[in-house]
Homo-oligomer: A and B are copies of this chain.
Amino acid sequence: MSNQSLPVLGQDTACCTPMVRQALGEDAAAELARMFKALADPVRLRLLSLIASYDGGEACVCDLTGPFDVSQPTISHHLKVLREAGLVGSERRGTWVYYRVVPSALAQLSTLLRTPSGRGEDPA
Contacts and interface: CB of A to CB of B under 8 A. Distances in A.
A19 B52 contact: yes
A76 interface: no
A46 B20 contact: no
Size category of the A interface is 35 or more
Contact of A50 (B6, B49, B54): B6
Interface centre among A44, A63, A120, A122 (most CB of B within 10 A): A120
Contacts of A117: 4, 6-7, 9, 103, 107
Interface of A: 1-4, 6-7, 9-10, 13, 15, 19-26, 29-30, 32-33, 36-37, 39-46, 48-50, 52-55, 57, 62-63, 66, 101-123
